Chains A and B, each alone.
Chain A
Amino acid sequence: MTGPRPDPQTPDPQTPDPETPGARVTGAQATGAQATGARAGARRSVLARSAPAVVCSLLVLAVSGLALLGSETTQRTATQMLVMGVITVGTYIYVGNSGVLSFGHVVFVGVGAYTTALTTLPRGLKQALLPALPGWLAELELGLPAALLVSGVLSVLVAAVFALLTLRLDGMAAGIASLALLISVNVVISNWDAVTRGSQGIVGIPADLTIGTAVPWLIGAIVVALTYQSSRSGFRLRASREDPVAAAALGIRIRRDRSVALVISAFVCGVGGGLYARFLGALTPGDVYLQLTLLTLLMLIVGGIRSLSGAVVGTIFISVLAELLRRIEAGGGVGPVEISPHPGVQQLILALTLLLTLLLRPGGITSGRELGFAPSGWLGGRRKGPRPGTAVDEPATRSDAAPPRAGRDNVPAAKQGHPQ
């Protein structure tokens, strides 16, 4: 029972996972190695189960602590990293657990950002900038926590409309529909002069966010994400991600669990958007559009879209990389090209990182594993799944056209799911 068995089709009768109905679906495809992991999983205490959140939070604290020693610029970059972390973790809650690609989560970020901007702008400035605002909103001036909660709640309302429109779709159509929604909302934001000041944007938002005030929100987002993914709904949703047909056959109502995830995800993204507005200080429609969408997806995919640790690791990795590249760009005179500021280098390298990740390590850095206190090492010792390096993070049901790629010696491993 310890070595990997070659036949992924044989169901394993000894997969005991009493409180995770969804995990049995993937258990049917599991190898012996995975079943051993699942047995270990059933014995895990609450403490061990929350290990990913603890490790991720410690990681965030460590990086933030290091940044506190640095210059003011470094601290500002670290603050941005923390804000991006909230947005990325929020997006992960839906995209990571459901496996449905969404280009639309920046809509929730945008709603949150504008809500926080409008509710925390100093009263006098608001009346000067936006004279057409309705009276009650013009008078409103909330503290940061209250404004962020309002942002989250409003994003949830938008998510309800979103759910109504897109939840029937998956795969390609879902991606395009969410993109279409993002464009629609952005057109509205860009033209609604009375409330958003159109493409001129809102200026004068108190930009007082620091590492100290941002860290608690990111840790909160991590805790929410882990709580959701270890809930029944989270397990059901991930089962549907691995095999929608089998999950539906087991009685999982995929659309309901997707709605739950979308609502939680929208709330966290809304809060992240609020933080983003307070980080930027000036908000234009372009700030919550494709560039931000790309950055979020970049962090998720490079880190590993199928685990919470991936979202956090990806955020840190890409933030550090982007900061290094920014310094190279500013430094000038590096490399063979003669243009002294290198305006495209950052985008070029970040896109290349994403491209190479997709081509060489499709599961991202973590490949669906969670960080934890494992006896055999920190990185996924207790986790199931193929060895690092051979991981092809594609469930067998999704790849429809070509036979397995040449050069992958571990084909059965490529077909395994990753029950969490």
Chain B
Amino acid sequence: MSAVAQNLVNALSLGSLYALIALGVALLFSIMGLINFAHGELIMIGGYALLWFAALPFAVTAVLVVAVVIGCGLAMERLAFRSVRGASGETLLMTSFALSLFVQGGALLFEGADPKSVDVLGSLGTSTEVAGLSVGRLDIAIIGVTAVLLAGLAWFLRATPLGVQMRAAAEDFRTARALGVRANLVVAAAFGVSGAFAAIAAIFLVASTGTLTPGMGLRPVLVGFVAIVLGGLGRLWAAALGAYVLALLTVMLQAYLPGGVVPYQDALVYLGIVVILMFRPHGIAGRPGAVRV
């Protein structure tokens, strides 16, 4: 019984991290149809920024990291994605792919290919007893911060004029523009929020793994894609749900798969995604939007 509860706590913590990543990706997808490979590179930049500012007090470091990553996100929007806005999904996808490799190349050039290690939030490395379970303090921090951020995003999208405009743009970009929503502002805001989520995800990711490489963004961003596909393309809350489902699936597979199959766990997860897409091309909670013949 307690083993099951322990696994559930692990899944909740992992799911919170996944949800941070998935929401960053889903926000851009819902507004401009962009599947942003470069989101992984924002996380990578966040990781290296942690290293650059490691000497400062943690609160200052965190603020600087978030600022740097938001700045990079806005720069990506202005320099690359604004020019292809409204192009086909494939063009957007390839643009983000190219951008992602470009940033990775830059990291290779300036930071080198060798892994670097950084100690973030080391004080949270211990565990604490909660209701008979041993829970890492870092896990508690991830779960708590994510809950606050999700609530904050919900408030932002419902209660602020900009948030309402973003929701309108996600619903129907063209109509929203016709009604006076400023496209550049809304898209820039989406990139800003997405960048902030990437920065916080980077802090927690690096705090739990401790290593930095130029290619470290790939795995998280794939997880983000899978989560939004699982939940339903274009729906924010479905993306968060998908992230928690994926985390639960991962943790349970890890715990209960027979030993010989464990190395193939990722293959099973991704194959599962393809099968889900086959039957539900718009995700579990998705709605078909395309023309049907």
Contacts and interface: CB of A to CB of B under 8 A. Distances in A.
Interface stretch (A41-49, A142-150, A346-354): A346-354
Majority secondary structure, A binding face: helix
A180 B226 contact: yes
B89 A171 contact: yes
B291 interface: yes
B223 to A, nearest CB: 11
The residue in B214, B226, B268, B271 that gathers the most chain A C-beta atoms within 10 A of its C-beta is: B271
B69 to A, nearest CB: 20
Contacts of A342: 109
B89 A172 contact: yes
B277 A301 contact: no
A337 B86 contact: no
B101 A347 contact: yes
A402 B270 contact: no
Nearest to A358: B95
A72 interface: no
Interface residues of A, number: 56
B264 A176 contact: no
B237 interface: no
Interface stretch (A18-26, A118-126, A161-169, A313-321): A161-169
Nearest to A353: B98
A184 B90 contact: no
A168 B281 CA distance: 8
Nearest to A101: B90
B109 A339 contact: yes
A230 B291 CA distance: 29
Nearest to A186: B267
A354 B108 CA distance: 18
B271 A348 contact: no
Given A351-B102, A394-B88, A172 B274 contact: no
Nearest to A189: B267
A171 B90 contact: yes
Nearest to B101: A351
Given A184-B267, A191-B264, A355-B95, A344 B109 contact: yes
A260 interface: no
Interface in A373-420: 394, 398-403, 405
A35 to B, nearest CB: 26
Interface string B174-195: 1001000001000000000000
Interface residues of B, number: 59
A294 interface: yes
The residue in B263, B267, B274 that gathers the most chain A C-beta atoms within 10 A of its C-beta is: B274
B109 to A, nearest CB: 3
Nearest to B103: A351
A358 B84 contact: yes
B2 interface: no
A292 to B, nearest CB: 13
A166 B270 CA distance: 13
B293 A245 contact: yes
Contacts of A249: 293
24 contacts: A166-B278, A173-B281, A177-B278, A184-B266, A184-B268, A184-B274, A290-B218, A344-B107, A344-B108, A347-B102, A347-B104, A347-B105, A348-B109, A351-B100, A354-B98, A355-B99, A358-B91, A358-B94, A358-B95, A358-B98, A399-B87, A402-B85, A402-B174, A405-B83
Given A165-B278, A177-B274, A342-B109, 13 more contacts: A101-B90, A176-B277, A177-B273, A188-B264, A191-B263, A343-B109, A347-B105, A351-B101, A351-B104, A354-B98, A355-B95, A362-B91, A402-B173
Which 8 A-B pairs give the minimum distances between C-beta atoms? Answer: A344-B108, A402-B86, A344-B109, A348-B105, A347-B105, A351-B102, A351-B101, A398-B88
Interface of A: 99, 101, 165-166, 168-169, 171-173, 175-177, 179-181, 183-185, 187-188, 190-191, 244-245, 248-249, 290, 294, 297, 301, 337, 339, 342-352, 354-355, 358-359, 362, 394, 398-403, 405
